[in-house]
Amino acid sequence: MAFLRRVPWRSLIPLVLLTVGAAYSLASWNWCGSWAERAPVVLSQARGEGPLRAGAAKVALVPPFPVVVAGYAPPRPEAAQADPPLHARAVVLEAGGARVGLVSLDLLSVTMDVVERVRAQAAASGLGEVLVMATHAHSSMGGYDSRLVAQLAGTGKFRQESVDAIVTAAVAALTRAAAAMTDVTLAVGEAHEPSLVYSRSSGTAPDGALTRVVLRAKTGPVAELLLFAAHPTMVARERAYVDPDYPGRLCALRESEGSGVTLLLQGAVGNASVAYSEGKGLERVAGFAQVLATVAGKVAVSPVGESVRLSLARVEATMPRPDASRLVPSLTRAAGDNLLCESAQRVAEVGALALGPLELVTVPGEPTVDAGAVLVGRTGATGVLGLANGYVGYVEAPELVNDGRGESRRQYFGPALLERLASAAELAARTAGFSR
């Protein structure tokens, strides 16, 4: 210690600079390498047409408390209970020999690890084709994503117990839905409520489209699907409770009104947030859920004929190399790329789901309005379903990415991302037999 006190601090400057320079050089080395590109590949398909059967179920999703509250950057609160409770809601559809399961989870996102485990276990119920989706609640449980960037950016420290709880609930919901299959009729309708959403970026403003799908048996409603796009970010960040935000409250309201099991599916407006502002705190959340529930109940639906088309195609697309140029200062660009590379998926799954007149492209991320318009234009789809079968982050139109506008500052990949997903979506749409 006496020796260190005798050393002039200025003499340590070269050592400090050398250490910093070495660390910078090491972090800036191209650890990411090159990422191979190949044409999209069909993973699976199921197609059928005939009388429609369906079953639905709702199962509690019980986190391994105490659990981190996901949704935002640190610091994050830790929750010892859920209020209201989280759920997994599932609908199983069957027509002409094709069977498809849909399960919606009160989560921020879903990972491919969760998706693959759910599919593997659901296969025991004869469900070879399953779509796993998140409501995108920014106040739900975390700890289920092992990727470093995800842990830092939103989901918190990884815990295998969180994954186990999610998979258990999802599989139970799908299994019970499959066991409750019955003959149903299908009816579909759409309304627009632009006052309920707004754009937080320079991209195209959302139109507030709300698609309603009703599945009804002779004994009454079996299920209702609501496709709507608005970020569930209404619950305060510091609230130390796990909370499903407005999607959980909306579905519970519709179910209490006799709609059957209700699933809220997020559409192609990753850059939209709720604009409704009556009330304060949780009153505001409940108020918005009530308004949306009322709107949904008034959406007129038109019956589809006795013979219903059902198809699902899943396609694998290769991802472009991650690009941190819009996320970090230019001097740390290479280090940012390396960090993203360690957490980014090299492949992603895009799908095409047809149910009667509905033709939906499924995307494993948050497509914006502009990106959604490209996907619809390329495939002829009636809409886009986001946050399905994995998570690759935001998906923005390439011209906005090149200009640094829209949600590009939150996109993990470069401007080629949408093209890769759109090419896969085209193949999926053809395979699923979209009408275009």
> Does pLDDT of 109 surpass 70?
yes
> Does pLDDT of 15 surpass 70?
no
Cα–Cα distance, 65 to 52 (Å, whole number): 40
Q: Which helix (H) or strand (E) holds 312?
A: strand 308-318
Cα–Cα distance, 127 to 120 (Å, whole number): 9
- Proportion of the chain above pLDDT 90, given as a percent: 71
Cα–Cα distance, 214 to 209 (Å, whole number): 16
Cα–Cα distance, 188 to 147 (Å, whole number): 38
> Does pLDDT of 151 surpass 90?
yes
Cα–Cα distance, 345 to 423 (Å, whole number): 17
Residue 297 token pair: 């109940």
Mean pLDDT over residues 100-108, rounded? 98
Confidence class of residue 44 from pLDDT cuts 50, 70 and 90? very high
Cα–Cα distance, 117 to 229 (Å, whole number): 27
> Does pLDDT of 247 surpass 80?
yes
Provide the pLDDT for residue 10.
Answer: 58
> Does pLDDT of 415 surpass 50?
yes
> Does pLDDT of 236 surpass 90?
no
- Residue 206's Cβ-side half-sphere holds a number of Cα atoms within 13 Å equal to 32
Q: Which helix (H) or strand (E) holds 314?
A: strand 308-318
pTM assigned to the model = 0.91
Provide the pLDDT for residue 26.
Answer: 45
Angle at 291 between CA 140 and CA 301, to 5 degrees: 105
For the segment 319-371, what is each residue's pLDDT rounded down to a tens digit? Answer: 999 988 887 887 777 788 888 888 888 999 999 999 999 999 999 999 999 99
Mean pLDDT over residues 174-203, rounded? 91
Cα–Cα distance, 261 to 173 (Å, whole number): 11
Cα–Cα distance, 256 to 9 (Å, whole number): 71
> Does pLDDT of 140 surpass 60?
yes
**Are the CB atoms for 406 and 371 separated by under 8 Å?**
no
What are the CB-based long-range contacts (under 8 Å, 24+) for 277-284? 281/236, 282/235, 284/234
For the segment 248-302, what is each residue's pLDDT rounded down to a tens digit? Answer: 999 999 999 999 999 999 998 744 455 555 566 788 889 889 999 999 999 999 9
**Are the CB atoms for 196 and 293 separated by under 8 Å?**
no
Beta-bridged to residue 383, according to DSSP, are 360
Q: Tell me the pLDDT of the chain averaged across its residues.
A: 90
Residue 35 token pair: 């990422």
Mean pLDDT over residues 46-59, rounded? 98
Residue 411 token pair: 């996109």
Residue 402: how many other CB atoms lie within 10 Å: 12
Q: What phi and psi, each to the nearest 5 degrees, are found at residue 54?
A: -155, 150
Provide the pLDDT for residue 83.
Answer: 93
Provide the pLDDT for residue 276.
Answer: 53
Mean pLDDT over residues 19-35, rounded? 58
Cite the beta strand spans of 2-85 per DSSP E: 41-50, 53-61, 67-68, 78-79
Provide the pLDDT for residue 28.
Answer: 52
Cα–Cα distance, 341 to 347 (Å, whole number): 12
Place of tokens 């979506």: 425
Confidence class of residue 123 from pLDDT cuts 50, 70 and 90? very high
